[in-house]
Chain A
Amino acid sequence: MNAGTMSMIIEWLVALLILFGALLSGLSSFGLVRLPDVYLRSHAATKSATLGVLCILTGAFLYFMLFLDQISAKLLLGIVFIFITSPIAGHLNGRAAYRTGVPLWEKSVQDDLKDALKRERDAQS
């Protein structure tokens, strides 16, 4: 395997990573439109969008490293920070929505949290 085919393989890898990330982000924003309530939407927003952004950043990192000979530590830090913060953002959105009384979708089947919250509020008052 010579250098030409090697660089072509890497080029394809980077292109596929970025395309895949863009596709995932697009599909998860489609999910934001399509899914019926806040909680299901935040499923789409936390998971697929995170992976999409991670793929795009990884592609950019590989491109900078292999074609421009520049190891960009900021991109790595960005990957780590997004990975840490996005599930917490999803959790806090869901929690705030539930606490302010946003209803679940009408086809939801089970709600254990309602009783627990009610008990807690009774205990406080």
Chain B
Amino acid sequence: MAIQILLNLCIALLWMFLNNSASASQFLMGYLIGLIFIGALRRFWPQPFYVQKIWAIVKLLVLFLKELILSSFSVIRQVIRPKLNIRPGIFAYTTNLKTDWEVTLLSCLICLTPGTLTLEVSRDQRTLYIHAMDMDDAEVISQQIKDSFEKAIVEVTR
């Protein structure tokens, strides 16, 4: 991915030299032309076109923001409810993610999801111990983590 961005910058610089002007608008023009070329020649790259990666990153950021808003509302709802009827607990969650980066991102996301908090990542990085505010929906939560977050993270990192 990095090599594609670097090449795109090089094409933009080349465009600026060809036009003999060093303005920001010429740079943008060259960058767009480079984008078109790299997109057209994508079958020669071993890795996917880097715009897809950037789109996946944007999607992950939006997911982060959405989860933050939802979770703070759910916490506030529990706090201002007159009677506290929650059943907290700690459950183990097995993840399929492998590298340090992915596990870090996942545990940050879990800290921001409604009613969950990462307490511990086991030493082999296969199991995450998650403190849930309400154990009734622990199954739902872990299914949701598996479906949406892991998929979004894998899209970014692989």
A residues apposed to B, CB below 8 Å: 24, 27-28, 30-31, 34-37, 39-40, 42-44, 46-48, 50-52, 54, 83-84, 87-88, 90-91, 94-95, 98, 104-105, 107-114, 116-117, 120
Contact = CB atoms under 8 A, between A and B. Distances in A.
B24 to A, nearest CB: 16
B79 A91 contact: no
Interface string B52-89: 00000000000010001101100110111000101111
B133 interface: yes
B120 A107 contact: no
Looking at B72, B112, B122, which has the most chain A CB atoms within 10 Å of its CB? Answer: B72
Nearest to A33: B79
A22 B86 CA distance: 26
Given A39-B119, A43-B133, A98-B120, A111 B71 contact: no
A37 B131 CA distance: 12
Contacts of A87: 107-108, 111-112
B84 A36 contact: yes
A112 B88 contact: no
Contacts of A28: 72, 75-76, 79
B84 A34 contact: yes
Contacts of B133: 40, 43
A17 to B, nearest CB: 13
A35 B79 contact: yes
A107 B87 contact: yes
A91 B75 contact: no
A46 B84 contact: no
B75 A90 contact: no
Interface string B84-119: 101111111000000000000001100110010111
A116 B92 contact: yes
A91 to B, nearest CB: 5
Given A36-B84, A39-B119, A87-B111, A109 B79 contact: no
A112 B90 contact: yes
Given A35-B79, A39-B88, A98-B119, A91 B129 contact: no
